[in-house]
Amino acid sequence: MLNNISSSNSFDKFAIYLSVLCAVQCLILPISLLFIPAFSLLPLADESFHELLLLFVIPISAFAMISGCRKHKIYNIIFYVIAGLGIMIVSAVWGHDLFGETGEIVSTLVGTSILSFGHVKNRKLCKECCL
């Protein structure tokens, strides 16, 4: 049982780190491109990086949240993941066209914040119920 708790917490932590990586990349990359043009040659500058990162964030977030909810039996926090991932997907795929560059950054930050909050709450509930 203790091993299941720690693995669920590990997936929540990893999902949070991936969300933060997405937010940091979204914030710092445009600024760094202005000052260090060589960064534009990195694959991080490509729009597909967001989409690739989402391919990791979606299954890890879903697995962490589902396994956590099975432990603590509080399922309403799944809506944080659904909302956060939904905003991140819209932002990554259509954000630049819908909101412009600044709006895309803001919407990505909102999505990652909601998603991270859901994972932090999931970890807390897992620790409370299973100790």
Q: Tens digit of pLDDT for each residue in 69-120? A: 898 899 999 999 999 999 989 988 888 789 888 888 889 889 989 998 999 9
Note the pLDDT of residue 46.
Answer: 56
Note the pLDDT of residue 2.
Answer: 47
pLDDT digit string, tens, across residues 4-44: 555 566 788 888 877 777 777 666 666 665 666 655 555 55
CA dist 1 and 19 (Å) reads: 27
Q: Calculate the alpha carbon distances from 75 to 37, 68, 78 in Å.
A: 46, 9, 6
- Tell which residue, 97, 117, 103, has the closest CA to residue 30: 103
| pTM for the full predicted model | 0.73
Find all residues with CB under 8 Å of 61, minimum gap 6, and list them: 15, 18, 19, 81, 84, 85, 115, 119
Instruction: Write down the mean pLDDT value for the chain.
Output: 79
The helix/strand/coil state of 42 is: coil
